[in-house]
Chain A
Amino acid sequence: MLTDKKIQRRKISISGIVQGVGFRPFIFNLALKNNLSGFVLNNRLGVEVEAEGEVKSLDSFILSIKNTSPPLSDIDNIQVTEIGLKGEGDFRIVETKTDSENETTLISPDYNVCPDCLRELFDPKDRRFEYPFINCTNCGPRYTIIEGTPYDRSLTSMKGFEMCEECSTEYKSPIDRRFHAQPNACQVCGPSLFLLDKDGKKLRSIDPISEAVSQLKTGKILAIKGIGGYHLVCDAANEEAVSALRERKYRKNKPLAIMSPDIETIERYASAAERERRIIIGRERPIVLVNKLSRNNIAPSVAPHNRYFGVMLPYTPIHYLLFSVGNGGYKRPFHFEALVMTSGNVANEPISFNDGEALERLGGIADYFLVHNREIVWRCDDSVIQVIKPSGKGEEIVSIIRRSRGFVPSPIFIKNTSHPLLACGGDLKNTFALADKNRVFLGPHIGDLEHSQAYYSFQQSIEHYKKIFRIEPEYIVVDKHPGYFSSRYGREYGRRFNKPVIEVQHHHAHIASVMAEHGLDGEVIGLAMDGTGYGDDDTIWGGEVLGVSYPSFTRLGHIKPIPLPGGDMAAKEPWRVATAILYRLYGEDLCKAHPRFAERIGEKRIAPIIAILKGGINSPLSSGLGRYFDAAASLLGIEDYNTFEGEAPIKLEMIADIKEGRIFKYGIEKNGEINLDPMVRELIEWGAMKQNIASASAIFHNTISAALVDSCQDVRREYGLNRVCLSGGVFQNRFLLTKIISSLESCSFSVFTPVKTPMNDGGIALGEAVVALNRVKEKNR
């Protein structure tokens, strides 16, 4: 309660992302402006202010905190209480207070260079002219350099660099943009760049950046240390260089991300719609998938068999310098139209971020290393986003494929409050989640946990999150899959620390995640479409029509299962799934039914697969819709192998004739089973006769969409549910997603898709967390 005295003192507690983002100087200046005395300090809750002065000034002060807070800040909550007067006469910034409260401070993600720093970077008169580590409280590295909280230079990888006098003055001056900018540095006192040859020997070049630019121009491949890890970089217009990079990295076909100096340059080779433009230029600087222009100067092997380029803009001073060093400004002509910027790793391993490890692992790929001595404490991959535009009234939909740099470690806020818990997530595009109160902290993209480096990173990142957010989990949540590395870790963790372990079904988590993002209560229809998730009946699921509430779900329908001859091998080799379907439809004479297929694969390789199917050896049943996409790609002769996840389905999608409107036959059984066999029969006939493949692919997509919409109609009739949540990796297929959203909306369904977390398994940890917290709540009731 506030009294009606004319002079008051108020304690203002601000939580949210308010540390390391220039909040205290902002408060300091605001207090001076409003003629207030008191102090401001950082604590583990966020920022604490005590301000004393006239009531009118205090009101205006608090309003300005809400409305004009610094660009990188994100206020979650402001609490104001009146306290006794102290009358100290001035306003001070008090050094960070360490208290023992077990509270969480939010930490800012790593953001793009701000306009002020960019201007200084290219201003020959500025003392940080062309200094590759320029930053201020409005931009620069955060999460990736933090060793612990509170956010203070001594707990970052800047701790070894003692500030020179000038930097120190800036750091101490409350009116300076660099006041308490923890990574503040300049060429005199801060980190520096080096160019190394592939054996790690330092090259004595005058300017490492200029030398790097020259090497890139001659077609060399460089490993460049960035914010969250190493990139492998080459000139994206140089086909020879790009092919060499692919060969050395063992990356055959998967598209490579490219970086261009500005949005105008991107638009020379790709078309970005308004929403895509906004995301591309956003401070998070994700990779955005945009349509290729048919005529472009980008090397063909950057993104073969794909309609899109994955593009991004520079985000560290090093990137900006690569494009414009020596130009006397950030301006044309830039040194490159586009640079390939792909994760610095071999094949499927996680991105390298540690210098020694990078030299060892990337030595066989890169010709040179552009490195620096500011340690990356935490690995953080580039984020990836695409934008979908359904036809009709629907709005553009943002769909995150990978949520990492620029977003991590900002929490997702949920409606309910949670006990502290750890959700271990999926196995292949793993992200974990640590939840407490109304906040779910999703971890960075970690990748396939079967890879030991990824697994260790998973273990270490969980410990790091526990430490920096001060959350000690009381419950451990795991996917039901008995063989997931993440689940085994969680079960072991529960056993070791004597914490209850809660199992959540994979597709339940997928849908609960969407519900939590949109704050939906009650029951919804969930369409969870992916490749593999462990089902309640101990078979593999992945084509699920579910009735979902937070604590539980019912399987109301599903895609008819197919046996997967060779288990995971079938996911890598779509022709195996094609064989399994052919065998179901035509028995041992399957080669006669599809001679083109038989000829291409070879009867000698098909025979043992038939034997495996007959004997039921390692042929688990799967209702995964993703496997039908694999099978269709193979039956139509488009692709028989996945050298990366989703390769065959992506090729199938890319080839589809968008204008084709027909559908194939399908059936929905009484028990809700969606029988796609009639469709597959027709597909086989088209494939066998080599009829228009582009039409066949489109009709396949149309049929899947129609069958799923039909299934939702059945559920609505029976249960009266009208809200549909879509999730699962299959919906990363833009053609299918656009189609199904349009159809569902035209049937008056309300449709929800994930927008803050990925559709794929990178988003399930959030769902695991909310399902678990609701189960705990129910149990405690």
Chain B
Amino acid sequence: MGNSKFITRAHGGGGTASAELIRDYFLPAYGNSILNQLGDQAIINFEGGRLAFTTDSYVVDPIFFPGGNIGGLAIFGTVNDIAMAGARPIALSVGFILHEGFPLGDLKKILDSMAEAAKRANVEIVTGDTKVVSGCSDQIYINTSGIGIVPEYANISPTNIRQGDKIILSGTIGDHGIAVLTERKELRFESRIESDTAPLYGLVKAMLDVEQGIRMMRDPTRGGVASTLNEVATAANLGIVIDEKMIPIREDVKSVCEILGLDPLQVANEGKLIAFVPAESADRVLEAMKVVPEGTNAAVIGEVTKEHPTIVEMKTSFIGSRIVEMMVGDQLPRIC
């Protein structure tokens, strides 16, 4: 990928190629003090308060999958990016790029699920746009942007993270990625794995209610928990050690990952968050999370260390510990 002169799929994969594209092209072109922070959302000071602002495009294939469709995803993905700043989402915009020949029936289903998702996330869609292009007739792309209000006390940034902080994961990993993949490739396994797509502001609110000093939150979407932890470790210039046996994962997701040879840590999630909290308040935050439906399976999965800055290490059940890396495009064989 290093010497490619063209865009490859890996550049949009959320792994190292994406990071390189941003570093080598976007930032040099129009980087500024806010963009350069490369947060999931931008925080803008506005008339004494702070706004969280974010945008995201959705190109999932297939557009309907177990547990949801592209519409719900486009709402939840964006409100969650806002919520990760501790902010309450208030308004969304929606832009559609539709392919000529796209069935109106399918569009209706998608719009219904967007409406339902917006209601569940307690947010309104206040502006929109539609374009139609020619191409494959079963495609639809959705862009959503959103704003939210950051509470005065919230101060969420990787630079706040300290040695000894505990890392909390809000639930099982890999559900969304595996649901989409098995649907796309018509893989049939014994149990049907559903996407975990869900809005997270309710959970975030419950957490902030018991600990205003939450250091950092991220939703581990593309690239999974592995990419998120690596990004945070790099941004904080600290080490992270997680414990494999503490990471919540459904048995069926685990066994499908094994069959597919995928590392569940690198598989996408859509309704999960990772929080870095001061060690002394970890129990309190965890307790508060467990009573919210989106956080019933939450667990402390590891902690922040001073040794080996920028490296994410995982203690495994019996082969010692291994380094957890960001995904590079597709997962590639390494074993000789």
Contact = CB atoms under 8 A, between A and B. Distances in A.
Contacts of A611: 185-188
Given A348-B320, A450-B322, A567 B336 contact: no
Interface string A469-495: 000000000000111110010010000
B197 interface: no
B262 to A, nearest CB: 6
B262 A452 contact: no
B261 A761 contact: no
A566 interface: yes
A522 interface: no
Interface string B312-325: 01000011111101
B187 A572 contact: no
A622 B261 CA distance: 15
A426 B335 CA distance: 10
A566 B336 contact: no
Interface string B67-87: 000000000000000000000
Contacts of B321: 451-453
Interface string B232-249: 000000000000000000
Contacts of A568: 261, 331, 333-335
A250 to B, nearest CB: 6
B332 to A, nearest CB: 5
Contact of B332 (A449, A483, A570, A614): A483
Given A427-B334, A531-B336, A626-B336, A452 B322 contact: yes
Given A565-B261, A608-B187, A620-B330, A346 B320 contact: yes
A618 B260 contact: yes
Nearest to A455: B323
B329 interface: yes
Contacts of A485: 323, 325
Contacts of B318: 250, 346-347
A781 B17 CA distance: 33
Contacts of B333: 532, 540, 564, 567-568, 570-571, 620, 622
Nearest to B187: A611
Interface string A613-633: 011011010101010000000
Given A503-B2, A608-B187, A451 B332 contact: no
Contacts of A572: 335
A534 B336 contact: no
Contacts of A450: 322-323, 334
A530 to B, nearest CB: 5
Contacts, number: 135
B336 A349 contact: no
A569 B185 contact: no
A761 B320 contact: no
Contacts of A455: 311, 323
Contact of A569 (B188, B261, B323): B261
A286 interface: no
Interface string A412-449: 00000000000000111100000000000000000001
Contacts of B325: 483, 485, 488
B185 A348 contact: no
A570 B332 CA distance: 12
A408 B97 CA distance: 62
Contact of B331 (A250, A429, A618): A618
> What is the interface residue range for chain A against chain B?
35 or more
Given A348-B320, A483-B325, A645 B336 contact: yes
B209 interface: no
A721 interface: no
A483 B186 CA distance: 29
Contacts of A20: none
Interface in A544-579: 564-572
B181 interface: yes
Interface string A629-654: 00000000000000001000000000
A532 B260 contact: no
Interface string A196-217: 0000000000000000000000
A532 B319 contact: no
B336 A533 contact: yes
B332 A761 contact: no
Contacts of B181: 617
Given A531-B335, A617-B185, A761-B336, A361 B320 contact: yes
B154 interface: no
Interface in B176-202: 181, 184-189
B258 A569 contact: yes
Nearest to A572: B335
Interface in A348-375: 348-349, 361
Contacts of B329: 482
Contacts of B186: 611, 615
Contact of B334 (A484, A608, A614): A484
Contact of B336 (A345, A451, A488, A542): A542
Contacts of B91: none
Task: From B185, B188, B260, name the one whose CB has the most chain A CB atoms within 10 angstroms.
Answer: B260
Contacts of B185: 611-612, 614-615, 617
Given A484-B334, A645-B336, 17 more contacts: A346-B319, A348-B319, A451-B319, A452-B321, A455-B323, A482-B329, A503-B2, A503-B3, A566-B259, A567-B331, A611-B188, A612-B185, A612-B260, A615-B184, A617-B260, A618-B260, A618-B262
4 nearest CB pairs, A to B: A566-B261, A569-B261, A615-B185, A531-B336
15 contacts: A348-B319, A450-B323, A452-B322, A483-B334, A491-B2, A532-B334, A534-B332, A567-B261, A567-B333, A568-B331, A611-B186, A618-B260, A620-B332, A622-B333, A626-B336
Interface of B: 1-3, 16-17, 181, 184-189, 258-262, 308, 311, 313, 318-323, 325, 328-336
